Chains A and B, each alone.
Chain A
Amino acid sequence: MKRFNLNLDSDIKVLLPDGSAHRLIDYLLPSATLMIAALLLMISMFLPYWRMKLYAPQYPNGLAVNVYVNHLEGDMREVDELNHYLGMPILDEGGRLERSISYYGIAVLGLLLIAGVFVHNRWAALIALPAIIYPLIFVADLYLILYQYGHSIDPKSALGGAIKQFTPPLMGLGTIGQFNTFSSFQPGFFFSLAAVAAVFLSLWLHRAAYKPLADARKRVRLAASQPSPAVPQEHA
């Protein structure tokens, strides 16, 4: 079996200013990885990021709420119905602003990553930074929404006096009333993490490719500013 040759056409070389030749693939890979990162982010928009399942004796199959960047799916109606006893707002009230701008926001992140393809210096890292911190922002915002939600129990509601303010857990088990809850991150969130990984990989590949180029430039510039040591040899 022929080994997969990452070097593409080995006759095509990248010639650095100092005359040293590099493989073409070294310069294509960082751009490709960055574009993959952008693609992963785009895909994540169509997948659930987070889910909470709620189990109680009278809900043997459980209730599920799946959180996407721009909408909710699942048994919100029943969860809302149950939560009205606590005077809580409907689930759809949570993170409305974030959901309304999410598609544009992620599109901007993706475009920034694609723009990064054309930046071959350390500013590339800055351009990629929003995509890197995006999952963190998601988690922080989700926590904030959950906190606000769990702290919106109306003491004057039917069961408001019976249940204390709480924050539903971001991950793992929780309990509220007769319900056991289980929260977990979902494929969309993992795609966004994979995008972060791809960005890091890209930056590393980027550095591996463009550092020799910068060094070569430096060497050439240095050589040009000094009298050439080769000239006297001609006289010799």
Chain B
Amino acid sequence: MKKVLTLVAAAAVLLAACQSEPAKIVAPTTTGAAGSTGALPSDAAAVATERGLSPDDVYAALKTYMPSGKTDPYIMFSSGGQAGQMLVIGVPSMRILKEIAVFTPEPWQGYGFGGSGNKILEGGKVDGKDVLWGDTHHPALSETDGSYDGQFVFINDKANARVAVIDLRDFSTKQIVKNPNAINDHGGSFVTPNSEYVVEGPQYASPIGWKYAPLDQYKDQYRGLITFWAFDRTKGRLDTSKSFQIELPPYWQDLCDAGKKVSDGWVFCNSFNSEMATGGVESGKPPFEAGTTKNDTDYLHIINWKKAAATVQAGKTEMINGMAVIRMKTAIDEGLLYFSPEPKSPHGADVTPGGEFIVVGGKLDPHVTVYSFDKITAAIKAGGLDKDAYGVPVIPLDKAMETQVELGLGPLHTVYDDKGYAYTSLFLDSAVARWTLGGPYADKHPEKPWTLVQKLPVQYNIGHIAAVEGDTATPGGNFVIALNKWSLDRFANVGPLLPQNFQLVDIGKGGDQMKVLYDMPIGMAEPHYAQIIKAERLKPFEVYPALGWDAEKMAVDPNAITTEAQARIERNGTKVEVWMSVIRSHYNPEQVKVKKGDHVIWHLSSLERTRDATHGFALSGYNINLSLEPGKTETIEFDATLPGTFTYYCTEFCSALHLEMLGYFLVEP
């Protein structure tokens, strides 16, 4: 019996020994020798010599190179400019990861070619007409307690005063809203610290309610308008019924930023046409470029949005085109709106991480002006303020200003890091200025507070500047990106329309050691602002969470089918309804026959559950193309007006038998 026991034990040991998986059958996930860091190999030095790379170049290469299989620690969401889209870029590798379709139809994502994207684009109709592009400006990641939470990102279309909501669970657009009372916007999108509201600042004044008024009635009829879109985080939608607007003087409010921490509850916007110029260069009047820059100062707008929300609650609003509007007089009477002068051709209004200061650049002034929120509130409390032409109380500059810092020519936008430095883009100097903050930030850096530390030339004509979480309560440091308007000689010549140049700047070291690391061409539009989030804050789906997923509603579609056995075609009079399954490498059904004039409703359900097993669906002749990611269901609806023989096929290379994934759509004449 003992022998039997020994035998059993021996067998068990032997079995266990055969169980260990040999490492060689596991496919390698990364290339290169793992873990062997340290000294550069001699052939690296040879490459540097051969390519004429300086030690700085080698440093830059090592800072930005992303080995295959490794992913970036930061993700940048950039405006897609006139393309109307949003770009997703990995930082520091500066690789484009995705272009998210927003205001413009985009076939790869099947956006606007028959599926649910069409419904979303319809939300962006202007006065009932399709507007199938956008001039996207300022992305705004949703925030919780003043820090990015990685759930949503918003972006505005300056050309048509629209705001879009992108859900970061699937990186796709869910909603477009058209501002009912504004024809353009610029100062969007900005969120309040808990994304209660998405702020859409206006730009060029227009008659409220989007009416006609001749320009000689500018002062009386034209108005600025700031919109607070209420955001329903659970639904992931902007809710017009809870949103409101505040009527403002026609001063061309420009860029806004929400206060945070100590200044939570307030919004600050710069403006640049207190002259109320109306142009007319053709009839001998000063052109806008001169007319709007005559005054030495314009007005920083200081708006109490929490009090404004209470004013809306109290019903002190007027409904205009379905939107609650707080009239200017009410705003003044309720103490919602204050001004403070800002020098010369101001741009930007960027709140420091703790909310203590607001930094405003002056395009035609070598300084940035730093406003103190404490001083602003003290001045408001003290009262006795002079009024502007429209009766808005004006806080004198010396009562609101903390300091001015001379940086150079053309300061525009300011972002922050975790070491008490501020970074301002200098358009005319074509440089990034690093300067020190004072107040509670003075201990974080060795330099004197409120001083310029370094001016780093960038190539060329920087507009916005983005830093890692650099406009939040918790800036990340390490990198800033200069969003340069001109690239001139930075890239190979691709003709007279040049790409923009996103330039990665290393800010990891303090003092004057900022360095340009990398040039990234953006050859699809002129982006404006970008935000950079730590990658770990994003938790997107790998595949849609359940079969039959309606990506627009973010719920299971009642018209979805979940097995191939459910695939069918039903005819009811002239209505033909198709329930089609989509899985490697076939559609079911593969033959769909209708008669000319039939109304076709076609539900397509991907039965895939494997990551990246995406299929397309193109129906030739009918301008239809869908993207069916694993688990997604889409519905297309059309009249079979075109008789003949058509094919539908998979437009996303899905498998070895991808070319065989097709079907015939026959429309009997």
- Residue numbers of A with Cβ under 8 A of B are 53, 55-57, 59-62, 77-78, 81, 85, 158, 171-173, 180, 182, 184-185, 190, 193, 196-197, 200-201, 203-204, 207
Residue tally, chain B, CB below 8 Å to A: 27
Q: Bound state CA distance, A78 and B11, in angstroms?
A: 34
B 12-31 binary contact with A (CB < 8 Å = 1; else 0): 10011011011001111100
Contact of B497 with A by CB under 8 A: no
11 contacts across the A-B interface (CB closer than 8 A): A55-B26, A55-B27, A56-B27, A57-B27, A61-B29, A81-B584, A85-B657, A185-B15, A197-B5, A204-B2, A204-B5
Contact of B609 with A by CB under 8 A: yes
Question: What residue of chain A has the Cβ atom nearest to residue B609's Cβ?
Answer: A77
Q: Bound state CA distance, A60 and B26, in angstroms?
A: 7
Q: Bound state CA distance, A78 and B584, in angstroms?
A: 10
Answer whether A182 and B25 are a contact pair too, CB < 8 Å, given A78-B609, A81-B583, A158-B657. yes
Contact of B46 with A by CB under 8 A: no
Contact of A184 among B21, B29, B608 (CB under 8 A): B21
Q: Bound state CA distance, A85 and B5, in angstroms?
A: 47
Question: What residue of chain A has the Cβ atom nearest to residue B21's Cβ?
Answer: A182
Chain B residues with CB below 8 A from A193, complex form = 8, 11-12, 15
Answer whether A200 and B4 are a contact pair too, CB < 8 Å, given A59-B27, A171-B18, A173-B25. yes
Contact B8 A196 (CB under 8 A): yes
Q: Bound state CA distance, A60 and B30, in angstroms?
A: 10
Q: Bound state CA distance, A194 and B542, in angstroms?
A: 40
Q: Bound state CA distance, A59 and B610, in angstroms?
A: 10
Question: What residue of chain A has the Cβ atom nearest to residue B29's Cβ?
Answer: A60
Instruction: Write the nearest CB–CB distance from A52 to chain B, whole angstroms.
Output: 11
Contact A55 B15 (CB under 8 A): no
Q: Bound state CA distance, A193 and B11, in angstroms?
A: 10
Instruction: Write the nearest CB–CB distance from B492 to chain A, whole angstroms.
Output: 34
Contact of B19 among A56, A85, A184, A207 (CB under 8 A): A184
Q: Bound state CA distance, A154 and B657, in angstroms?
A: 17
Contact of B1 with A by CB under 8 A: yes
Chain A residues with CB below 8 A from B213, complex form = none
Contact of B96 with A by CB under 8 A: no
Chain A residues with CB below 8 A from B4, complex form = 200
Q: Bound state CA distance, A81 and B12, in angstroms?
A: 35
Question: What residue of chain B has the Cβ atom nearest to residue A204's Cβ?
Answer: B1
Contact B19 A185 (CB under 8 A): yes
Question: What residue of chain B has the Cβ atom nearest to residue A199's Cβ?
Answer: B8
Instruction: Write the nearest CB–CB distance from B628 to chain A, whole angstroms.
Output: 15
Answer whether A190 and B22 are a contact pair too, CB < 8 Å, given A77-B609, A85-B657, A158-B657. no
Chain B residues with CB below 8 A from A55, complex form = 25-27
Chain A residues with CB below 8 A from B9, complex form = 197
Answer whether A197 and B8 are a contact pair too, CB < 8 Å, given A60-B27, A203-B1. yes
Chain A residues with CB below 8 A from B660, complex form = 158
Q: Bound state CA distance, A180 and B23, in angstroms?
A: 12
Chain A residues with CB below 8 A from B22, complex form = 173, 182
A81-B584, A85-B585, A204-B1 given; name 9 further pairs at CB < 8 Å: A53-B21, A55-B27, A59-B27, A171-B15, A171-B19, A182-B25, A184-B21, A193-B15, A207-B1
Question: What residue of chain B has the Cβ atom nearest to residue A180's Cβ?
Answer: B25
Q: Bound state CA distance, A138 and B610, in angstroms?
A: 31
Question: What residue of chain A has the Cβ atom nearest to residue B7's Cβ?
Answer: A200
Instruction: Write the nearest CB–CB distance from A196 to chain B, whole angstroms.
Output: 7
Question: What residue of chain B has the Cβ atom nearest to residue A81's Cβ?
Answer: B584
Contact B5 A201 (CB under 8 A): yes
B 26-40 binary contact with A (CB < 8 Å = 1; else 0): 111100000000000
Q: Bound state CA distance, A78 and B585, in angstroms?
A: 13
Contact B609 A200 (CB under 8 A): no
Q: Bound state CA distance, A184 and B4, in angstroms?
A: 24
Instruction: Write the nearest CB–CB distance from A21 to chain B, whole angstroms.
Output: 25
Q: Bound state CA distance, A200 and B2, in angstroms?
A: 9
Contact B610 A78 (CB under 8 A): yes
Question: What residue of chain B has the Cβ atom nearest to residue A56's Cβ?
Answer: B27
Chain A residues with CB below 8 A from B609, complex form = 77-78
Q: Bound state CA distance, A69 and B399, in angstroms?
A: 79
Chain A residues with CB below 8 A from B18, complex form = 171-172, 184
Chain A residues with CB below 8 A from B585, complex form = 85, 158
Q: Bound state CA distance, A220 and B657, in angstroms?
A: 84
Instruction: Write the nearest CB–CB distance from B546 to chain A, whole angstroms.
Output: 13
Question: What residue of chain A has the Cβ atom nearest to residue B2's Cβ?
Answer: A204
Question: What residue of chain A has the Cβ atom nearest to residue B27's Cβ?
Answer: A60
Instruction: Write the nearest CB–CB distance from B93 to chain A, whole angstroms.
Output: 20
Chain B residues with CB below 8 A from A173, complex form = 22, 25
Q: Bound state CA distance, A53 and B585, in angstroms?
A: 23
Question: What residue of chain A has the Cβ atom nearest to residue B16's Cβ?
Answer: A190
Instruction: Write the nearest CB–CB distance from B661 to chain A, whole angstroms.
Output: 11
Instruction: Write the nearest CB–CB distance from A163 to chain B, whole angstroms.
Output: 13
B 585-625 binary contact with A (CB < 8 Å = 1; else 0): 10000000000000000000000111000000000000000
Which residues of B from 308 to 354 have beta carbons under 8 Å from A? none
Question: What residue of chain A has the Cβ atom nearest to residue B655's Cβ?
Answer: A85
Q: Bound state CA distance, A171 and B21, in angstroms?
A: 10
Q: Bound state CA distance, A201 and B610, in angstroms?
A: 48
Answer whether A81 and B1 are a contact pair too, CB < 8 Å, given A185-B15, A197-B9. no
Contact of B26 among A62, A77, A190 (CB under 8 A): A62
Question: What residue of chain A has the Cβ atom nearest to residue B26's Cβ?
Answer: A55
Question: What residue of chain A has the Cβ atom nearest to residue B22's Cβ?
Answer: A173
Instruction: Write the nearest CB–CB distance from B16 to chain A, whole angstroms.
Output: 8
Answer whether A200 and B27 are a contact pair too, CB < 8 Å, given A78-B609, A173-B22. no
Instruction: Write the nearest CB–CB distance from A140 to chain B, whole angstroms.
Output: 16
Q: Bound state CA distance, A196 and B660, in angstroms?
A: 53
In the A-B complex, the 10 residue pairs with the closest CB atoms: A204-B1, A180-B25, A184-B19, A60-B29, A60-B27, A78-B610, A197-B8, A77-B609, A182-B21, A55-B25
Chain B residues with CB below 8 A from A62, complex form = 26-27
Chain A residues with CB below 8 A from B28, complex form = 60
Instruction: Write the nearest CB–CB distance from B587 to chain A, whole angstroms.
Output: 14
Chain B residues with CB below 8 A from A180, complex form = 25
Chain B residues with CB below 8 A from A81, complex form = 583-584, 608, 610
Chain A residues with CB below 8 A from B583, complex form = 81
Q: Bound state CA distance, A53 and B5, in angstroms?
A: 32
Instruction: Write the nearest CB–CB distance from B297 to chain A, whole angstroms.
Output: 61
Q: Bound state CA distance, A185 and B18, in angstroms?
A: 10
Q: Bound state CA distance, A182 and B19, in angstroms?
A: 9
Instruction: Write the nearest CB–CB distance from B137 to chain A, whole angstroms.
Output: 39
Q: Bound state CA distance, A184 and B16, in angstroms?
A: 9
Question: What residue of chain A has the Cβ atom nearest to residue B8's Cβ?
Answer: A197
